[in-house]
Structures are given as C-alpha cells and as structure tokens.
C-alpha cells in the first residue's frame, strides 16, 4: 500500500475513533423554533414578471429534518427530540432585543445536567447577497434559465456546559441546489400533480443534504460515517 493511502486510512480510523469516544458519553436534544412558508420565488426579466407564489408539500419539513438528524446521530449518540416549553416558543423577538433567543439559551443552560449538546432547528438571517429570498421561507427559486431548491431553515449546535456554539458556515455547501432537467410551465406557476410529486422527492433530498452538511462541518458525525449510513440504508445521491 502506498504511503499516501496508508495516511488516508489512518486519518479515517482516527476520525471514527474520535467520533466513537465522543459519542459514547454524549446525549443530544433536538429542539425546533423554526418557522417557514413554502414558496415559489420567481425573479423574472422585469419587475412585472417577478412573483412569489405559495406552494404546498406533502410532508412536514420539521418532522422530516428531525428524523434525518436522528438517522445520522442515533448510531453514536443518545438522541431525544424535545418540545420546548411555551415560555420559549411564544416569546417574541423585539426590535432592540431578542427575548426568544435569551429564553432559549437559558433553557439550554438549564439542561446541562440532561444533555451534552442541543441542536436547534431555526431560521437563518441571510447575508445581503440573498436579499431577494423572502424571510423564513423555503421552496423553489427560479429565474428564466435557473431553478433551484432553497431553505432558510438552518441548524445551531451548542455545548450545554458553556453555551459554546459549534461553528460552521451556514450558507455553505449547496445552499441553492440546482434542479436539472426540469422546465418551468408556460405560466411559471401551474405544476401538475406528477411534477409536484417530483418536486417533493427532490426537496426532501435537498433537506437531507443540508442536515449532512451541518453534521459533517461541525464534526458531530464524520462524513465517512454519514456515507456508511447512507450506503447501509440504500440512499442514493441526488443528481
């Protein structure tokens, strides 16, 4: 075996050992404060051809994301999906302060004897480059010659011992996932039931990729472990 191959194997073994040692004693809570509207956002050639149209999907986004997080985390961690108390969920974000954020972080701090990590499913405040994307929305983004999936749903991971966030680039990976071999209808809005079923399948796979990006970039689950779980379940990569 060549030296560079030996090094690669050694690094993979170290990665798996680190994951196993961390996971043996780690308990994770998954909570959600996310809110999203399913939209088709079209940016036409002129202002008059721009539009945003509501869409419906045949599955629960948050429920799907929670299950996918569990799929990758359960082999190595003790994982619990937790419903936050109303005192956190019903808190409002003010103009000069974020009451919900304060209450959420206090809840995480109070949970340090129960969990080692808390993963929060939340909405991202997008950078200026994505100013055309409606706040707290998910769905399809199209232009005359471009169509993609997108979501403002994101993930924040915290260590409960010190409230330290697990850092990664939220807008990284394929934040906009191009949809290939797909042509918009003539009016850009009216999708057939068959087309909507294909959109649903593709959108679920896109959400899966966002979960995988978060877990691998925060090193909660190594990429090789994710790939192994996908291979075992027979999941194929989205084209």
Question: Looking at residue 16, what is its pLDDT?
Answer: 55
- Residue labelled with tokens 């994770």: 28
- Is the per-residue pLDDT at 44 higher than 80? no
Question: Looking at residue 238, what is its pLDDT?
Answer: 43
What does the DSSP 8-state code read for residue 82?
-
Which DSSP helix (H) or strand (E) runs through 6? helix 3-24
∠ CA 220-224-226 to the nearest 5 degrees?
60
Q: What is the mean pLDDT of residues 63-79?
A: 97
Question: Looking at residue 92, what is its pLDDT?
Answer: 72
pLDDT digits (tens, 9 = 90+) for 105-158: 999 999 999 999 999 999 999 999 998 899 999 999 998 878 999 999 999 999
- Give the span between the Cα atoms of 215 and 47, in whole angstroms: 39
Token pair of 148, please?
A: 């993609």
Architecture, CATH, for domain 20-233: 2-Layer Sandwich (3.30)
- Is the per-residue pLDDT at 239 higher than 50? no
- Give the span between the Cα atoms of 118 and 116, in whole angstroms: 7
pLDDT digits (tens, 9 = 90+) for 178-204: 998 888 888 888 889 999 999 999 999
- Give the span between the Cα atoms of 57 and 45, in whole angstroms: 27
Q: What is the mean pLDDT of residues 59-78?
A: 97
- Higher confidence at residue 23 or residue 68? 68
Instruction: Please state the domain extents for the chain.
Output: 20-233
Across the chain, mean pLDDT equals 87
- Give the span between the Cα atoms of 69 and 65, in whole angstroms: 6
**Which backbone phi and psi does 78 adopt, to 5 degrees?**
-90, 115
Q: What is the mean pLDDT of residues 89-115?
A: 85
């Amino acid at each position: 075996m060549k030296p560079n191959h030996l090094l690669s194997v050694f690094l993979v073994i170290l990665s798996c050992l680190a994951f196993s040692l961390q996971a043996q004693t780690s308990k994770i809570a998954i909570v959600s404060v996310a809110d999203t509207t399913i939209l088709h956002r079209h940016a036409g050639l002129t202002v008059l051809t721009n539009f945003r149209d509501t869409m419906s999907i045949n599955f629960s986004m948050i429920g799907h994301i929670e299950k996918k997080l569990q799929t990758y985390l359960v082999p190595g961690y003790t994982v619990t999906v937790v419903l936050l108390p109303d005192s956190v969920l019903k808190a409002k974000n003010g103009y000069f302060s974020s009451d919900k954020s304060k209450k959420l972080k206090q809840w995480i701090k109070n949970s340090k004897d129960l969990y080692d990590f808390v993963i929060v499913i939340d909405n991202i405040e997008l950078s200026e480059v994505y100013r055309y994307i409606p706040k707290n929305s998910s769905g399809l983004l199209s232009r005359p010659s471009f169509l993609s999936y997108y979501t403002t749903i994101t993930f924040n991971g915290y260590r409960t011992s010190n409230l330290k966030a697990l850092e990664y680039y939220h807008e990284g990976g394929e934040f906009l996932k191009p949809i290939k071999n797909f042509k918009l209808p003539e009016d850009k809005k009216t999708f057939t039931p068959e087309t909507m079923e294909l959109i649903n399948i593709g959108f679920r796979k896109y959400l899966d990729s966002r979960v995988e990006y978060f877990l691998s970039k925060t090193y909660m689950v190594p990429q090789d472990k994710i790939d192994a779980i996908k291979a075992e379940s027979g999941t194929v990569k989205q084209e």
